[in-house]
Chains A and B, each alone.
Chain A
């Protein structure tokens, strides 16, 4: 049986198959290989890949279930393929965007020129829940704020890429990119080789170089650590994986103390000074003296050490201001303001509920729009209008009226699809793409990124907490 003969891309942009049902140029080898497999073989390979992930312990805990229930994050072995030209545009677009956002954060906490020049209203910044007063007047080492970014891109029916969201705080998922690749190399070795896929494995060493770049030159062999909330965090696997790959310490808040203005680790031989932390704890929890006093995960005095220049942090506290989902709407103007260029990667058109005209439109068209709260992530605080009940929509309308500053809305994007294994057949499922960007001496975009796939039929929500899975991403 030909696996793809009954496959229907329907009225969506399909990443592997064109509207005539033919494989796209870069996907030809893969599709031919899948077609040539004996019946049932694809499902076997899928099972083998899942078994491998379980064995490697790449699992997350399912909260609220009986002890010992662990699941792998669903992984589909059919990769998503991105052509070299598409990638070229993504890469240059992300470099431009991240550069501009970094300039923006530096400006917002210091000179505030963009406010004075009337590009962004001051009250929008000041009312953002992710604005950190503690960062005012501060310039981090080398002037870099957003060292690690994971930008969510989507592709609409027309095949164009749009930026859906910027994640400049502690974006996670890059370890899945690396592990998915390991698994897929074992699953489709020949096709992988013949397709000349660009390698993703350089990421940990690029990350390490970036962290080292933050250390003043007079410290010859700096101590670098990854700061994790601990083994109960759902991204713990990633924290551990990255520190192992970089060969640096993995520390928890309980391992650190601030002494004489510097941060130290408690070691078997006494205190040892730490120079750089790649922190994977949110701003709110990182230092109970400065942010949330009830945090048990953080380290007292850490921000003090950071602000006196005795510690570098990646990402810098305060970067959340640039991924406020309302500020997002201004990013094309931000890019223009700081670089003089037009944005290479467009935003999804966005209605800002604090503007009266936009709000009126949003309230009238809730059944067609996706509404998002400014500071939620993981698919929470969000209304997918066309799929919501009338009751949900009425609820959301009240929320928007009560707190217009906190909401924005976008037309529902017909996310592109990728063939995905469903039982013993292949069906199209919607995907997005999160490439990872490092900002050190230069800006580096990992060739690939995390393709998240919404596994339930017709679903547009790709978040892992909402039934999403992942795929390997092949950049040719």
Chain B
């Protein structure tokens, strides 16, 4: 298929996944605040920290206050990772490949964008934020579902899945990175209900609470990190995402796993192997932040190599062609 088309479909899915993640973060945070004592510090700053875009926020907004953060993350068209900007970018990508995706996918995404861009949306988001952000999440899921059942699982679909999986792995690593440090137990808070609420919120941010409970009963920092990085079956764990992305990549070329044929397959294969042969205790020993930071860098490298291998994009110092 055309390199430009593959690039567009890959980014279309990354943007949808990104939008969904941001909506989920906001949703979880709103929920968490209901259970928090009022005076307990600022709960909106970490949300911006997860995106890694504090500098952009601070340049344009005076405080980490609910309304401002929500506007920044949801409706700010000047901010490239705002939900609206992501959905708009997904739609522009979809428009350039309308003949590749199904009409159902296009119509859904088009409608998703038009409603989000409607001038009433910001008021709706403030009036009933729970419902508003839930709708955004469900629209993203619906899009993913439509892609799964109305589009052939050929080359284009595999590129779409790779985009989605890499984006998801990156977001999970960011949630964990930010929260892990903030929530490292202080002696006086260990095993108090307060602590528990916070860890539950982290898991919820990755839609992971219930599945986590089935494997571990207690939310210790070690267990949460183990689950979010290494669980084999949980769909948002980093290991799972990377291994799914790799399977899709091999399907594109028809090459056997273990016998990589191009730089992208090599790079992703190495990352998968590292995730398979590392465990949580090693990670904690080495330093959680350093580990996650390294992981994010490697995910960016995979993205770059996919660009040079398939999308005809010249390698640059930037992590990728479309982002920011």
Q: Which residues of A contact B (CB under 8 A)?
A: 54-57, 67-68, 230-231, 236, 240-241, 243-244, 249-252, 254-255, 265-268
Contact = CB atoms under 8 A, between A and B. Distances in A.
A255 B2 contact: yes
B99 A244 contact: yes
A56 B107 contact: yes
A57 B106 contact: yes
A255 B114 contact: no
A265 B114 contact: no
B6 A268 contact: yes
Chief secondary structure at chain A's binding surface: mixed
B289 interface: no
B236 to A, nearest CB: 27
B163 to A, nearest CB: 13
- Give 8 nearest A-B pairs by CB, closest first: A244-B99, A268-B310, A57-B110, A240-B98, A243-B99, A266-B3, A268-B6, A266-B312
Interface string B147-191: 000000001000100000000000000000000000000000000
Contact of B92 (A231, A243, A254, A267): A231
B106 A266 contact: no
A55 B110 CA distance: 7
Contacts of B106: 57
Given A240-B99, A244-B99, A266-B312, A251 B107 contact: no
Contacts, number: 55
Contacts of A55: 107, 110-111, 114
B268 to A, nearest CB: 15
Interface of B: 1-4, 6, 77, 88, 92, 95-96, 98-99, 103, 106-107, 110-111, 114, 117, 155, 159, 252, 310-312
A68 B99 CA distance: 22
A56 B103 CA distance: 8
A254 B4 contact: yes
B95 A231 contact: yes
Nearest to A250: B99
A208 to B, nearest CB: 13
A54 B106 CA distance: 12
B120 to A, nearest CB: 14
B114 A54 contact: yes
Contact of A265 (B2, B98, B310, B311): B2
A181 to B, nearest CB: 16
10 contacts: A55-B111, A68-B117, A252-B4, A255-B2, A255-B3, A265-B2, A266-B2, A267-B2, A268-B252, A268-B310
A302 to B, nearest CB: 17
A266 B310 CA distance: 9
A231 B96 contact: yes
B178 to A, nearest CB: 31
Contacts of B252: 268
B6, B77, B99: most-surrounded residue (chain A CB, <10 A): B99
Contacts of B92: 231
Nearest to A242: B99
B107 A57 contact: yes
Contact of B95 (A57, A244, A255, A268): A57
Given A55-B110, A57-B107, A268 B1 contact: yes
Contacts of B96: 230-231, 240
Contacts of B159: 268
Contacts of A250: 99
A267 B311 CA distance: 8
Contacts of B1: 267-268
B2 to A, nearest CB: 5
A424 B204 CA distance: 52
B99 A255 contact: no
A68 B118 CA distance: 10
B3 A268 contact: yes
B251 to A, nearest CB: 12
Nearest to A247: B99
Given A231-B96, A244-B98, A254-B4, A268 B117 contact: no
Contacts of A268: 1-3, 6, 155, 159, 252, 310-311
